Structures are given as structure tokens and as C-alpha cells.
Structure 1
Amino acid sequence: MTAIIGSLLLILVLFLGSGVWVGLSLMGTGITMVTIFRDIPIDKLLPQYFFNILTTSELVALPLFVIMGEFLFRTNLSRSLFNGLAPWMGLLPGRLLHVNVVACSIFAAISGSSAATTQVVGRISLTELLRRGYSRDIAIGSLAGAGTLGFLIPPSTVMIIYGVLAEESVLRLFTAGFLPGVLLAVLFMGMIMLRTTINRDLIPESERQLRNASWAVRFAALKELAPVVFLILAVLGSMYGGFATPSEAAAVGVFGAILVAGSQGGLNLQAFRDVALSSMQTCSMIGLIIVGATVLGNITSFLGIAEFLAEYVAELQLTPFMLIVALTAVYLVLGCFLEGFSMIVTTLPVVLPLVTAAGFDKVWFGIFLVIVVELAQITPPVGFNLFVIQGVTGDGIGYITRVTMPFVALMLAFIAFLALFPEFVLWLPNLLFGA
């Protein structure tokens, strides 16, 4: 079995290292392994794998959420968010720095994408914060950290993929991500408050008067949030109100995004063409990766790799907490070389049996994986959100990484909290849907 596992890793590294697309690398590794070690008619099994995974009903929501995000990317929603939140955030220590966190949290609830959240919010909030004289370090760091909430706060494209591959309810995953997402946003805001209280120079003197804004101004600003509230109620309200499945809610979200874009003058034939092409490219890439991961996952089962590793871990007699610590370390290393989505589909076929054998719930592990993927988004050299921020600010990756590290440390502490208290993740889905 050692020879089989070693061969799998070697072949996968060779495929990835040669620049082959991730989906084709996963599929090619599986086909090569089964050709070498088993006499299985893989040519007959491949069409069956393709059909089964690509016709999964839960997967319908994915392209719809991608389309919704593409439409929202072409609106003035980020400016509306900033204008609506700024007068209220002036009440808190840290002032407008909190707009980064709150705006990212709100946009995450309607986009499902971490990179889109970072880019859309960063285009307005980061530019405005730097123009007003806020500390560059904490402005960029807080945006990098808060931008990752796009994967955790439902709806989430990563949760949809995990739900399909792990054969778990997407709606339960969405529900489980809500409380951790809110708590992590609160922790980010707490860090901003703490740092700006200790070092008052992080906020310009002129901004310290924002607390004096009248209540009339604050309530008048709320009208700027109307498009966002409309979309949140349309997507999440239809799901949790029992009116729509996640796929149907995604369709409602697309319709709502078209209405918002149209009301803000962002729709024309060129915009529809750009949305169609960009969505097709994104969905094709994701679909190929999902198929490749499914092929590799099934073939690892044929080869007995998952069972062998589960028995090996059982012999090590690691406590469940130590297993999570070990997996966190492994994923942090992988995050330096793979983007988060590829990290999940590459490792899930092997890792999922280990954590379920250790007694962890699949819904809880899905939330753990999402947070680890968030960390991968802001760890070099393949931290995608770091490149998004670099495109907005023009700063070097080394500098952006350094100012982001306090928020990385906070997320690691948050993972430890969830490992020690898994019931925090499972309480809401168990309350709504039963244990």
C-alpha cells in the first residue's frame, strides 16, 4: 500500500508541476493509477462518473450564484454599501475601518465568492480609507481578512462544491456557516477596535469627529442599503423561509441582481455578453475540477487508500483535536502552493474518511475546510486575495502579506475554538433541521 500511495503522490505532483490544469491532473492521476494497479474498464466508468456528478441537482446552484456575482460586479453596489454604512461605523472605535468588515460580510451574503467580495468592496472602501488618511497597514490587512468571509457566510460556492463531493445537504452547510461567519466578522472588528484604541495614530484626527454625525444623517444613509437588503431577503429569505431550495434561491438571486444592475444603469448588451463569457469560463473550470476530483476519489476507494489511511491514523491513537491540529498544519502548507478550491477537491477523498472515523460531523468538517480555504486565500505565494488587493493598491505581495498576518493569527485561533466547541457550528442546523 505504501507503494500505491507513493505512486499516487508522485504522479499527481508530476501532473501539477508540468502545468496541466488541476481538473485534468486529478483525472489523469486516477486513470494512471487504476491502469497500473487494477484491471478495471475505466473507459466504461468515466462516462458514468461524468453523468452522475454533472447532473447532481445541488450543483445547479453553482453557475447561478456565479452569474449573480458577475452581474453585481458590474453595479455600484460597493459605493452604496460604503455610503450607507459610513455614518453608522463612525460610532465605533476604529471608525470607517469597520466598513471593510461589515461591507464584506454583507456582500458575502449575496455573492458567495471571496475574490469578488474583496475586489468589489476594496475598489471603493480601500480607496476611500487611504484618501482620508487611515493607516495603510490596518486598512489593507482588515480588507484581506474580511474579504475571506465570502466563502463562509452563505451562500458560498465552496460549500456547494463540498456538499456535492461529500454528499451532504447544502442547506445544512449554509445554515452551519452563518454563526461562525458572524462571529469571525465580530472578531475582526474587535481586533480593529483594540489596535486603534492602543494606537490612536492609526486613525486620522479629522476622522475622530465622525461620532458627531447627526442621527438624521445616519437614518438618511440607510436608503443606500436598500438594494443590498433586497438581495439578501430574496436569496436567504426564500431559502430559510421554505419557499425555495438553494438552486431556486440562486435563480431568484440572479433575477434580483439583474433588477439591481438595471436600476443602477449597469445593463447593456456588452454587459450581458461579458457576464455570459465570464460565467461560462468560471463554471467550465469548476466543472472540470469537480469531475476530476470525483474520478480520483472513486479510484482511491478502489485502491483501498482511504481505508488504509483511516486504519493508520487509528493506530496513531491521535485525539480528535490533535487530528484537526495535524490537518490544519497540512492544509496551511498546501495553501502555500494550491488555491483553496483545488486544495479541497484534491484532498477530500482521502481526508473525509479520516475525520468521520474520528467522530467529526461532515457538516462541521465542511465549515472547518471553508475556513482553511479562507486562510489559503491570504497566504503566499498562491493567496488569490493578496493578488486582488495588489491589483487595487499596487503594493508588493510581501507588504500585503505582512499586514495581513494579525488576521491570519486570529483565524487560526478561531479554528482552535471550533475544534474545541464543535457544537457551536452544529447548533443552528440541528435546531432548524434536526440532528
Structure 2
Amino acid sequence: MEIFIAVLLIGVMLAVLGSGLWIGLSLLGVAVFGMELLTSRPAGDSMALTIWGSTSSWTLTALPLFLWMGEILFRSKLSEDMFKGLAPWLERLPGRLLHVNIIGCTIFAAVSGSSAATCATIGKIALPELKKRGYPEDITLGTLAGAGTLGLLIPPSIIMIVYGVAANVSIADLFIAGVLPGLLLAVLFMGYVMLWALRHPDAIPAAGASTSFAEKIYASRHLIPVVTLIVAVLGSIYSGVATATEAAAFGVAGALILARVEGSLTWAAFVDGLIGATRVYCMIGLILAGAAFLTLSMGFIGLPRHLAEFVGTLNLSPFMLILVLMVLFVVLGCFLDGISIVVLTISVLLPTVQKAGIDLIWFGIFIVLVVEMAQITPPVGFNLFVLQGLTKRDLTWISRTALPLFMVMVAAVMLVYFVPALVVWLPSHM
């Protein structure tokens, strides 16, 4: 019965999304359909309370602020300077400036803790520059979709906090455990880009003139403003001086000051940046509201709990259990955000996981990895929606560009399964 309900809801969602209706409204429509058809609870009051709660969260204010910071950098010479500073170091690496997507997302992930904020901010800075320099749009969007998911894995991570509370494990250990897998995933993404570039040598713009080490150091002066801003934002968070939201506001102020100093902050640019950030956030906010109500609807239907209970009755080997859970979480990711997946399933799954002898710290990182995979799988891959809002490209086309990165993430899950020390070594030695 649960499988039938899942297939029915996925079919309805695909049909509504295919109709061209706004994504946020599509999610709301599917949630209302499921709630009215499959539960006895009225949808109206639940929808109002859920939408208000999901959009009025204080922690959510960091997202529009980070988006505004990205808009300011995009409209100033700072983003171009960042590429000038990185280009000499990447000129002999296959793929060249495509790696900026991955490097930028890896760094920004440590600031935001949000996949959507990471994808949107780095995308706003990198996409115009890479397009201007002649890099193919498909691989550019694919790598950005994949690398944006690092916002969930590299600490700080809200999902890790929720899992730590639910599973009664150390949140500090989870944060530490996420560092090596996060860096590993970034390296795997860069490895894929290098292989792609070697297979498509004509698709990558030609390298500029070879530069000496001294010239690379001199070119790195262009990185000083952006690196200073990132270090200041990161430092304010990790020193305890500021929360993520306060650090985001600090980042906006710093970006405005830097843009003013280098002469690109005009009144028109200021207004355009503010309007641009508002538009992107309104798009993301509507999707967040729709996803929150869809999560509530799925909770009342009981689909996540029933599927988790079904997995618990299969008596699988540890390896088969991990494979089945990977599929389960990716399917649930079609309906739910990562935090909701953890909240609705972890209490049911923990006895099965512990019985299989799986380390709970390792299992937490596994959950974050597979939730990341759900961020780039249709029909409700959140990073795909963000990129569609930035580029206006078809969602199906963006999904195809992200598919190779999805397979890289599957390889990462297999790697951490067969080499669990990648996750548990660092927490056990600190």
C-alpha cells in the first residue's frame, strides 16, 4: 500500500511540475492532494500554520543575506578579480576554471551550512564569469549542482545537529567526522571534472600564457579582498563572535565596503543587487513553503514511517541494508527536506542500524551524504530548483547535467562504507 501511495504521489508531482506551474505552488498542490485524499485532517489551517512557521524562522534570514552578498560581489569587480587570482593556479589543471565552482562551494559551505545558499551564492558569482570565458553551460551547471550539496556535509550543518539530538550522539564528533568526507567529495568532484575535460579537450577554452611561480603569487593579489571577506565571515562564526545570520549581515557590510573601495558600488548597482537577491529569495522562499507543507502532509499520511518500518523487517546484511537505505532516503528526498527525513525516520531505523553493528557517527555522515544526493534528483531536487531560478533553463535538462555528479556521490558513499576510517578516524583522534 505504501509503495502504491509513493508511486501515486510521484506521478501527481511529475504531472504538476510538467504542466509549467511554479515549483513552490506545485509542491503545495501535491501536499493538498495527498492530505485531502489520504488523511482526515483539513488542509487549510495546517497549510497556514506550516507556511508561516517555515518562512518566519530567524535562522532563515541568513539565506537572503548571503544571496545579497553574492549579488554585490557579482556586480562588482571582486568576482572577476577572484577568477584572475585563481586562473594562473588552475591553468595546467584539466578543466581549468571549472574547478572554481567546486573550490568556491567547498569554502562557502563552511560559512553557510546550507546547500541552497551555497549553490545560489557561488552560482551568482561564477556562472556569469564562466559563461563569459566560454565554458560549456552543461558541465558548469552540473558541477555547481553537485558541489552546492557540500553545504550540508562540511560543518556547521543543521542536519547533523538534528541527527545528533535524535540519535543521542555527540554533535561535535559529527562535525569533526564530516570534514574528511566533505573534502573527499570535493576531490572526487574535481577528479570527475578532470576526466571530463580530458575526454572533451575542445570544449574547454585554451589556457593562457604559462606563468612562473612568482607571477602566480603576484596574480594572487586579486584574491586578497574576497579571501579577506571569507576569512572574516568564517572567523566571526567559529570564534563565537557571531551567529550564522549575524555573520551573513557582516558579509553584506564587508562586500558593500569592498565594492565601494574598488569603485563599482553605484546607487544603481546597489538597487539592482538588492532587487536581484529579493527575487531569488522569493523563489526559494516559495519552494521552502511548499516543501514544508509537503513534509507535513507526508507525516500525516505516515509514508516515511511505514517505509522505514518495512526496511526494518527485511533482516538485511549490513551492506544490503546500506544499499536499501540509500534508495529509501533518495526516494523520500523526492518529498521531504533533509531535516524532515531524519526526524520522521531515525527513531524507527536506529534499532535496525544498531543491530547490524553500524557505528552511529558513521551512520550520521551516511545520512547526510544520501540527503545530499536527494538535493540533485528530480522531481524535488532543491539545488536543481535554485539553478533553474538562476538560469531559467528546463528542469529536466539541468537534472541531466547533474546526473554524473549524482553517480560520483554514490561512489563516495561506497568509498566511506568500505573505508569507514574516512569518517570515524578523525573523531576518535581528537
Q: Which residue of structure 2 aligns with residue 370 of structure 1? A: 372
Uncovered stretches (5+) of structure 2, i.e. residues with no partner: 354-359
Distance 1:11 1:308, change over 3 A: same
Identity percentage of aligned residues:
31
Q: Which residue of structure 2 aligns with residue 339 of structure 1? A: none
Distance 1:265 1:5, change over 3 A: same
The C-alpha deviation readout for 1:250-287, integer Å capped at 9, x for no partner, is 11121122223323333223223222323223223322
The C-alpha deviation readout for 1:91-127, integer Å capped at 9, x for no partner, is x554xx3432146413653484335535633544565
CA distance in 1, matches of 2:342, 2:306: 12
CA distance in 2, matches of 1:20, 1:161: 30
Matched, 1:113 2:114: no
2:234 to 220, 233, 236: 236
Q: Which residue of structure 1 aligns with residue 253 of structure 2? A: 255
Uncovered stretches (5+) of structure 1, i.e. residues with no partner: 131-135, 335-341, 392-396
Distance 1:366 1:207, change over 3 A: closer
Q: Which residue of structure 1 aligns with residue 72 of structure 2? A: 71
Q: Which residue of structure 2 aligns with residue 147 of structure 1? A: 144
Distance 1:236 1:354, change over 3 A: same
Moved more, 285-294 or 224-233: 285-294
Q: Which residue of structure 2 aligns with residue 58 of structure 1? A: 59
CA distance in 2, matches of 1:407, 1:178: 19
CA distance in 2, matches of 1:7, 1:16: 14
Q: Report matched runs for 1:188-207 at 5 Å.
A: 188-190=189-191
8 Å Cα contact 2:105/2:122 also seen in 1: yes
Q: State TM-score, norm by structure 2.
A: 0.71
Amino acid of the structure 1 residue aligned with 2:371:
L
CA distance in 1, matches of 2:70, 2:36: 41
CA distance in 1, matches of 2:404, 2:12: 37
Q: Which residue of structure 2 aligns with residue 338 of structure 1? A: none
1:270 to 263, 268, 271: 268
Q: What secondary structure does 1:316 align onto?
A: coil
Matched, 1:30 2:31: yes
Q: What secondary structure does 1:113 align onto?
A: helix
Figure out how many residues of one structure are paired with residues of the other and give that number: 400
CA distance in 2, matches of 1:348, 1:50: 16
Amino acid of the structure 1 residue aligned with 2:367:
F
CA distance in 2, matches of 1:201, 1:37: 54
8 Å Cα contact 1:99/1:125 also seen in 2: yes
8 Å Cα contact 2:151/2:157 also seen in 1: no
Deviation at 1:67, TM superposition (A): 1.6
CA distance in 2, matches of 1:376, 1:174: 28
Distance 1:314 1:279, change over 3 A: same
Distance 1:307 1:272, change over 3 A: same
Distance 1:419 1:376, change over 3 A: farther
Deviation at 1:223, TM superposition (A): 0.9
Matched, 1:279 2:277: yes
CA distance in 2, matches of 1:38, 1:192: 47
CA distance in 1, matches of 2:20, 2:277: 23
8 Å Cα contact 1:168/1:362 also seen in 2: no
CA distance in 2, matches of 1:186, 1:277: 35
Amino acid of the structure 1 residue aligned with 2:55:
L
Amino acid of the structure 2 residue aligned with 1:70:
E
Moved more, 253-262 or 13-22: 13-22
Q: Which residue of structure 2 aligns with residue 83 of structure 1? A: 84
RMSD: 4.8
Amino acid of the structure 2 residue aligned with 1:225:
L
CA distance in 1, matches of 2:68, 2:376: 22
CA distance in 2, matches of 1:42, 1:143: 40
Q: State TM-score, norm by structure 1.
A: 0.70
Moved more, 54-63 or 245-254: 54-63
8 Å Cα contact 2:106/2:150 also seen in 1: yes
CA distance in 1, matches of 2:429, 2:312: 32
Q: What secondary structure does 2:375 align onto?
A: helix
Distance 1:368 1:215, change over 3 A: same
8 Å Cα contact 2:30/2:294 also seen in 1: yes
CA distance in 2, matches of 1:8, 1:390: 26
Amino acid of the structure 2 residue aligned with 1:40:
R
Amino acid of the structure 1 residue aligned with 2:118:
S
CA distance in 2, matches of 1:259, 1:155: 29
The C-alpha deviation readout for 1:37-94, integer Å capped at 9, x for no partner, is 444354444443234333333222222222222222212233212321233335x554
Deviation at 1:225, TM superposition (A): 0.6
8 Å Cα contact 1:144/1:385 also seen in 2: yes
Deviation at 1:224, TM superposition (A): 0.6
